[in-house]
Every structure is written in C-alpha cells, then in structure tokens.
Amino acid sequence: MFAVEAIKLAKTFQTRQGPVKAVRNVSFAVAPGEIFGILGPNGAGKSTTILMLTTLLRSTTGSAKILGLDVDKDDAAVRNKIGVALQETGIDEVLTGKELVQSTGRLWGLSQSKASERSAELLSLVGLTDAADRRVKTYSGGMKRRLDLALSLIHQPQILFLDEPTTGLDPGSRRVLWNEIIRLRNEGVTIILTTQYLEEADALADRIAIIDNGVVELEGTPDALKASIGGDVILFSFETKEIAKRAGDSITNSEVTGRELRTTVNNGPQSIPNLFSILQANNIEAVAVSSSRPTLDDVFLKVTGHKLEAVKVHENDDLGNHGGV
C-alpha cells in the first residue's frame, strides 16, 4: 500500500476573469518512509496539490489516497494520520512557544500532563527549548518555521506534508530544517516536500516530481533524472543575448537562455576546442565556458524549456529581512 497516491488530480478555480486551471494533471505514488520532492516554480501548482492531498481543498477531478483512505470520503481519518506545515503559517504570536505547543496538544485530545510532556519533547527536538518561554512574536523567521514543524508533529503523524518549508530562510536556518527533515525520515515518517530550490530537492528527496503549469512533467530519483540528460553539459556565456542567440544558431542541439548557451556532449573537456572553433568560424566570441555533469537545473530546462530560476515570480527571498536559526 502506498503512503500517498495522487491519480490525475486537477483543480480549476472560477474567477471573474474566467476559469483558472491551477492543477491540470498530477499523478504520483509515494512509498512509506520516503522523502518525495515536488519541484517547480511559483505558480506551478505545488501548493494547490498539497492542499488537495491534505483535505484542505476539494479537487475538481481526479482522486487521492492517504494510506489507502480517500481524501474526500475519509477526510477525518486522513487528518488523524497526517501533519501539515504550510508555506503561510497561522501561528498565534501572542502565546509563548511552550504554551502554543501545549494548547495544540490539548486540541488533539492529549491530557494536560501528556500535552506538557509532548511540548517539552518537541521543542527540544526542533532546538527551541531555550526559547520555550518567549512569546512567539519575538522569534526569528527560522525559529517560527521550526515551531511550525513541531506543531505539525504533535499527534505523531505517519505522513508529513511540508509546503516550501525553507523559502525565505537564511542558509543556516535552512540547513537546520534539512537536518530535522532527514532525521524524521530516518525514524520512518513519510515526507512530501514542495520546493523551488534545486539544491534542496537534490539534497533531501529520495524521488522527485518536476511540476510545471499544473502538470507533472517527469518523475524519478535525483540521480536517475540527471542521468537522463546523458554526457556532460557545456555552458558558454556571452556579452549579450543577441550574441548568445547567434551562437545557438551555430551550435546544433543547444539551448539558449538569456546570455548563456548550453549543450550536452559525450565528453565535455574534449569537445570544448571543437565548439570554440565553430564559434570562431562564425565570428562569435564567448566570455566564459565550463563543463560539468548534468544538474537538476539541466533536467528542468530539458523537460520544460526554461530554467527554474528564470520563471520565479513574486518571490521575496531577501535573507537580510529574516531571522537566523
């Protein structure tokens, strides 16, 4: 039995401007104990997919199961088995961290003593023991994300949904959360993680689904996805977009994005001199060149036709505006 199964999920929102298809066709299955990454830019349908899987939003068409339970027909039973940490948290900032976790435990039916015990355990787990008696409004961004993780674990869920848990965090806070996610997976928790960070998906996920425009374009392990590119990736940089476009017209099987050209060859270092000769024959000068093994960015570019970073919108990742760990 799969821990999570999505079958042709789709969601259409009705707006004054007409219908908006947020999710068009999402299917995947997650085995128990996996970290499954959903990778894509803002607006790709990641968060909407999570809302449908966690019973917070009804799908327009398609279906989903959590541990064999239908998310629409068995929604109450599903909620008892899952934990959810959404991108936009609704944490009460007036309470202290300890008070918030204890009160959440009481809402889940824990006794006063059990809620207190569980609160101490979880705050220690996410490294917030020293801040337990501080009001949440004094917490940094990274601390609030870790507190939200603790709240999602209060009832010991079998499956944990994390919707872009590290967006906007500084590198130190991000690394702390990564360690917690890996530790939970090692303890047997199944984790569904949405992200727009290539490095995060590569570091954490056992398998990845690349989603773009509401459709799952490709799925597999990070290594398998990168191996699907084949060979080495050569990257040329040029002074202008116009020069890069001319280079793309000269070098076959290449892709141009902005001032960069990428092409995949069997042996990168040995192929560079020949490619330089082609550029020189067409009076094209490159300002830089490199050869590397394929990355998830190369995979994303191949299956969607654009780079992940190039399609980010409305993102506020000013690390200077967020607190530390």
Same domain, 186 and 272: no
pLDDT band at 315 (very low <50, low <70, confident <90, very high): very low
- In terms of pLDDT, which residue wins out, 88 or 310? 88
pLDDT band at 318 (very low <50, low <70, confident <90, very high): very low
Query: In the numeric block, which tokens belong to residue 252?
Result: 């076959």
Does 318 map to a domain? no
Kindly report the pTM of this predicted structure. Answer: 0.80
Same domain, 179 and 262: no
Domain count, the chain: 2
- In terms of pLDDT, which residue wins out, 96 or 317? 96
Rounded-to-integer distance, Cα 28 and Cα 62, Å: 12
Same domain, 114 and 135: yes
Q: Is the pLDDT of residue 170 over 90?
A: no
Q: What is the DSSP letter of 284?
A: -
Rounded-to-integer distance, Cα 5 and Cα 63, Å: 8
The parent domain of residue 179 ranges over 4-226
What pLDDT, in 10s, does the model give residues 243-272? 999 999 999 989 898 999 999 898 888 899
Q: Tell me which of 167, 200, 226 is where a domain ends.
A: 226
pLDDT score of 323 = 32
Same domain, 100 and 209: yes
Q: Left, alpha or beta for 32 (phi > 0: left; psi -120 to 50: alpha)?
A: beta
Does 298 map to a domain? no
Can you give the CATH number for the domain in which 238 is found? 3.30.70
pLDDT, average across residues 2-26: 94
The percentage of the chain sitting over the pLDDT mark of 90, rounded to a whole number, equals 66
What pLDDT, in 10s, does the model give residues 59-93? 999 999 999 999 999 999 999 999 998 876 667 88
Can you give the CATH number for the domain in which 121 is found? 3.40.50.300
Same domain, 217 and 283: no
Helix ranges restricted to H, 92-240 = 97-107, 112-125, 141-152, 171-186, 198-204, 222-227
pLDDT band at 172 (very low <50, low <70, confident <90, very high): confident
Does 280 map to a domain? yes
Same domain, 17 and 51: yes
Q: Tell me which of 226, 242, 261 is where a domain ends.
A: 226
Same domain, 246 and 182: no
pLDDT score of 89 = 62
pLDDT score of 88 = 65
Residue with tokens 């801040």: 131
pLDDT band at 316 (very low <50, low <70, confident <90, very high): very low
Range with lowest mean pLDDT among 88-97, 106-115, 194-203: 88-97
Sign of CA dihedral 299, 301, 304, 310: positive
Residues in a beta bridge with 28 = 6
Same domain, 98 and 245: no
pLDDT score of 324 = 33
pLDDT, average across residues 284-305: 89
The percentage of the chain sitting over the pLDDT mark of 70, rounded to a whole number, equals 94
- In terms of pLDDT, which residue wins out, 179 or 169? 179
pLDDT band at 167 (very low <50, low <70, confident <90, very high): confident
pLDDT score of 182 = 93
